Structure 1
Amino acid sequence: MKEYKVETPSLGFRNRAKKLEEFLNNTAREGWALKETVLGEGGYVVIFERDKNR
Structure 2
Amino acid sequence: MKEYKVIKLKLGFRNRLQNLEDILNQHAREGWQVLDLPQGWMAVVLERDKNR
TM-score by length of 1: 0.87
- Please identify runs of 4+ aligned residues in structure 1 that moved more than 6 A: none
Q: Which has the higher strand share?
A: 1
Q: CA RMSD in A?
A: 1.3
Flag structure 1 segments of 5+ consecutive residues without an equivalent: none
Query: 1:11 Cα shift?
Result: 0.3
- Any idea what the Cα deviations from partners look like across 1:8-30, whole Å, max 9, x if unmatched? 11100000000000000001001
State how far apart, in whole Å, the 2-side matches of 1:29 and 1:35 are. Answer: 16
TM-score by length of 2: 0.90
